Amino acid sequence: MAAAGTGPRDGPVPGGAPGGAEPPKRSGPIEPWDRFTRARATEDTMPAGFGHAPFFDLSSSADKGRFRVHDARGFAPESMRRAAHPAEAGMVLLLGTRPASHAEYPGAEQVITLMFDRAVFSEAAAEKWWNANREWAVGTAPLRGA
């Protein structure tokens, strides 16, 4: 993770997961992060001129770029909260707790949405951060030990 206060981070966006790792296999509906990963993978097979899927969600603003990691409908609404990323300046996490009835992660806290401050992260830099930190972001208890 980058040090706090290093300013805007631009650069090429690496393709795929670090080290060629495959995303975890899931049962049930495709999560937003997985949908994005699949869209990126198919872009290489499309003819030129078909465009590029944006990294930031359409609900982003001029100040905040949003990336949906998990579908918010899979979390207990009363558990949702925002927290600053413990080591990354310019990033806020929307966190939530899965209901006890969740098939894969009952009662687990997970990141629902990553919110990037556009004064710190360009869209390309945010996607680069995602590629380097995806495993952490889709895991459970993201703030434990932080």
26-79 pLDDT per residue, tens: 556 778 887 777 777 776 776 666 667 789 998 999 999 999 999 999 999 999
Q: Are strands 64-68 and 81-84 parallel, antiparallel or unpaired?
A: unpaired
Name the token pair of 146.
């932080």
Q: What is the pLDDT of residues 104-142, one digit of tens each?
A: 999 999 999 999 999 999 999 999 999 999 999 999 988
Q: Look up residue 104 and give its DSSP letter.
A: S
Let me know: does 93 contact 115? Beta carbons within 8 Å: yes
Question: How would you classify residue 133: left for phi > 0, otherwise alpha for psi between -120 and 50, otherwise beta?
Answer: alpha
Confidence (pLDDT) at 30: 75
